């Protein structure tokens, strides 16, 4: 991957110009070599739905999709995402137009504070793509990399079970 170097106005560190597609839109940002993808997403792109928790790969709050696979954006340098397609939770739905997976979490009280929600929503979406009718064990395995301090996980499992049913219903009806 090539990343264009641009002069650093402060003279302290080389700034890199990074070209990405974020939530379907081409974006160009400047970053330093040491900057994490989650920092660029939140600070430069102002997409605050992606959360910063542990910064250690344990909690999943920073989860995004990169080229169609979920990743923890605190574990990636932004420069390594040059040319990538990134989807953040901000693009999953909106308050008046929730996705079926978001609706299932809402209706089943699948979150409380909401901090862990990006990771659980993306884990659910990836699981349902490959396992349209997942067992509870498969659901628990899929969310194993995400920590929630509020719900005790039972409601998250119920939410994903319901989300899978809703996505199957949409597929049967020919809806996306």
Separation of alpha carbons 97 and 95, rounded Å: 6
Beta bridge partners of 65: 70, 87
Residue 5 touching ligand FES (CB under 6 A): no
Our finding on whether 58 is near ligand FES (CB under 6 A) is: yes
* 3-class secondary-structure state, position 115: coil
| 113 touching ligand FES, by CB under 6 A | no
Q: By CB under 6 A, which span of 22-30, 49-57, 129-137, 168-176 interacts with ligand FES?
A: 49-57
Stretch that binds ligand FES, among 56-64, 78-86, 98-106, 156-164 (CB under 6 A): 56-64
Sequence-distant (6+) residues with CB within 8 A of 163 are 100, 101, 103, 104, 105, 124, 128
Stretch that binds ligand FES, among 16-24, 51-59, 78-86, 104-112 (CB under 6 A): 51-59
Does residue 77 belong to the site contacting ligand FES (CB under 6 A)? Answer: no
Choose among 33, 31, 86, 95: nearest CA to 63.
86
Residue from the set 6, 28, 48, 57 that interacts with ligand FES by CB under 6 A: 57
Query: Counting contacts by CB under 6 A, is residue 60 touching ligand FES?
Result: yes
CA atoms of 166 and 172, how far apart (whole Å)? 10
Residues lying near ligand FES in the complex (CB under 6 A) are found at 52-62, 72, 74
């Amino acid at each position: 991957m090539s990343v264009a170097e641009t002069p650093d106005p402060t003279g302290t560190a080389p700034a890199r110009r990074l070209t990405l597609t974020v939530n379907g839109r081409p974006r160009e940002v400047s970053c330093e070599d040491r900057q994490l993808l989650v920092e660029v997403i939140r600070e430069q792109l102002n997409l605050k739905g992606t959360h910063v928790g542990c910064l250690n790969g344990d909690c999943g709050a920073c989860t995004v999709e990169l080229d169609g696979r979920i990743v923890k954006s605190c574990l990636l340098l932004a420069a390594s995402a040059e040319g990538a397609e990134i989807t953040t939770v901000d693009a999953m739905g909106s308050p008046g137009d929730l996705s079926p997976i978001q609706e299932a979490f809402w209706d089943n009280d699948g979150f409380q504070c909401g901090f862990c929600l990006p990771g659980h929503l993306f884990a659910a979406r990836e699981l349902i793509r490959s396992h349209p009718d997942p067992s509870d064990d498969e659901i628990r395995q899929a969310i194993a990399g995400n920590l929630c301090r509020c719900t005790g996980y039972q409601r998250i499992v119920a939410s994903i079970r319901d989300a899978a049913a809703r996505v199957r219903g949409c597929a049967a009806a020919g809806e996306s």
